[in-house]
Amino acid sequence: MQPPSNSALPTPPVIANAAELLSRYEVLFCDVWGVIHNGLIAYRDACEALEEFRRRGGTVVLVSNAPVPKQRVADMLDTRQVPRSAWDDIVSSGDIALAHVAERGFQALYCIGPQDRDQALFRALSARSVPLAEAEALICTGLNDDKTETPENYRAILEQALARKLPFICANPDLIVDVGGTYYYCAGAIADLYAEMGGAVYWAGKPHLNAYETAHAKAESLRDRNVEKRRILVIGDSLRTDMKGAETFGCDALFIASGIHRHETMDDAHLSPERLGALFDAQAPTAVGAMAQLRW
């Protein structure tokens, strides 16, 4: 049985268990935050579903907009009790950003983001950190203090960068992140402001093709053969990044409603088909199914 076409399903059907759907695919590109953990602790059912998929011969590539190298992502998953048996490899926005810096040959960067939290990326840079007046580009992993700042706090810096036509490397395209029910701005919100001002932005990660092309290459390497896009399923909780990324890449997607869109789709612990339909309007990317939480 072939997976249904995205275009045939304007509103995804609600499913309680994913076993039958997942059996149609060889590879999962799975989001991390909002799907397999909530920023604090792993979702046991989701992890068990990924483990079962792998036991049956499938390959799981985690695709994360975390602005750090993948080893740091793996370490963070360990602290949240996500078992290593739930995944095969990781694609991180941090690694994509680092590769872009190296490819462009930048030697001097103005860095925006918390130096303690994201030190794994800053230490791995092939360029040195310099004042804005000496920079060839900006790289941003997030707000320096996401508890007190907003993107508007960076407008003056962005105006100076724009005057010099400096490119902006966004190492996390997410606009916001949900940490245990509290929302914080991400690097994507600053990058979005710079783009609105007319600045050039390199978006390292979802929903952009660089994330899924990298994941596809990893999956084919792991399986040691070509993997058709129709045999790949994206699992995620964000219309803007996960669902749109799947649509752009040309593969199917499964929507997890209890993540970033839970206030729009959930009635307490239950997924509302009516609210889901309102979210997946005519302008929204589509999905082959929707679940409250991922479970086998």
The DSSP line for 133-153 is: GG-SEEEESS-TTTTT--GGG
pLDDT of residue 183: 83
* Amino acid residing at 205: G
pLDDT of residue 9: 54
3-state secondary structure of 251: coil
CA separation (Å) from 96 to 69, 99, 173, 218, 276? 9, 5, 12, 13, 32
Contact 77, 33 (CB under 8 A): no
Q: Residue-wise pLDDT tens for the chain (296 aa)?
A: 344 444 445 789 999 999 999 999 999 999 999 999 998 899 999 999 999 999 999 999 999 999 999 999 999 999 999 999 999 999 999 999 999 999 999 999 999 999 999 999 999 999 999 999 999 999 999 999 989 999 999 999 999 999 999 999 999 999 988 776 778 899 999 999 999 999 999 999 999 999 999 999 999 999 999 999 999 999 999 999 999 999 999 999 999 999 889 889 998 888 999 999 999 998 899 999 999 999 99
Each domain of the chain, given as residue ranges in start order, spans 6-65+207-291, 103-203
Contact 212, 219 (CB under 8 A): no
Report the candidate in 62, 94, 93 with the shortest Cα–Cα distance to residue 78. Answer: 62
pLDDT of residue 233: 98
- Which strands sit side by side in the sheet containing 108-112, from one edge to the other? 128-129, 108-112, 137-140, 168-170, 201-203
C-alpha torsion sign, points 10, 13, 17, 19: negative
- Do the domains 103-203 and 6-65+207-291 match in fold? yes
CATH fold of the domain at 6-65+207-291: Rossmann fold (3.40.50)
Contact 233, 27 (CB under 8 A): yes
Contact 33, 58 (CB under 8 A): no
DSSP assigned state of 181 = T
List, in order, residues 6 or more apart from 44 with CB less than 8 Å away. none
What are the respective helix, strand and coil percentages of the chain, to the nearest 5? 40, 20, 40
Report whether CATH 3.40.50.1000 matches the domain 103-203. Answer: yes
Sequence-ordered strand ranges (E) for the chain: 27-30, 59-64, 89-92, 108-112, 128-129, 137-140, 168-170, 176-179, 182-185, 201-203, 232-236, 252-256, 266-267, 270-271, 289-291
